[in-house]
Amino acid sequence: MARRRNIDLSNRNKFKLKNLTNGPSKFYQAFDINTSLNGIDLCGDELFIKTKKDLDTDEEILSSPRVNIDYAGEYKDKPWRFFLKGNKFVSRSPKPKN
């Protein structure tokens, strides 16, 4: 992952480690997810989505609207961003609800 992102982690710099995947583009680059995967079956074996019951954790999964997509009209407030509560690799913490 660090090699794909051109990040030197040899000195164990926590800031660099945190910034390895904290944002969609960084995540995709680190995991080598690119347009060659467009149309891939997400129920297959190459790239897949696990359900909560399939996770090996009791951590809480949260959802929030995506950030910086004000251009998305009616979709800007949809809770289409999922992450583990307190995960330091998330680009931004969700805004508190009013």
Q: For 26-69, how does the pLDDT look when each residue is reduced to its tens digit (9 = 90+)?
A: 989 999 999 999 999 988 888 887 777 887 778 888 888 888 88
| pLDDT of residue 97 exceeding 60 | no
| pLDDT of residue 21 exceeding 90 | no
The per-residue pLDDT for 25 is 87
Distance CA 34, CA 36 (A): 5
The per-residue pLDDT for 19 is 85
What Rg do the C-alpha atoms of the chain give, in angstroms? 15
Which 3 state secondary structure label does DSSP give 14? helix
In single-letter form, the type of residue at position 78 comes to K
Q: For 59-93, how does the pLDDT look when each residue is reduced to its tens digit (9 = 90+)?
A: 888 888 888 888 999 999 999 888 888 887 877 66
Distance CA 2, CA 60 (A): 27
Q: What DSSP string describes 22-77?
A: SSHHHHHHHTT--GGGTT--TTSSSS----GGGSS--PPEEEEPPSS-GGGGGGTT
The per-residue pLDDT for 92 is 67
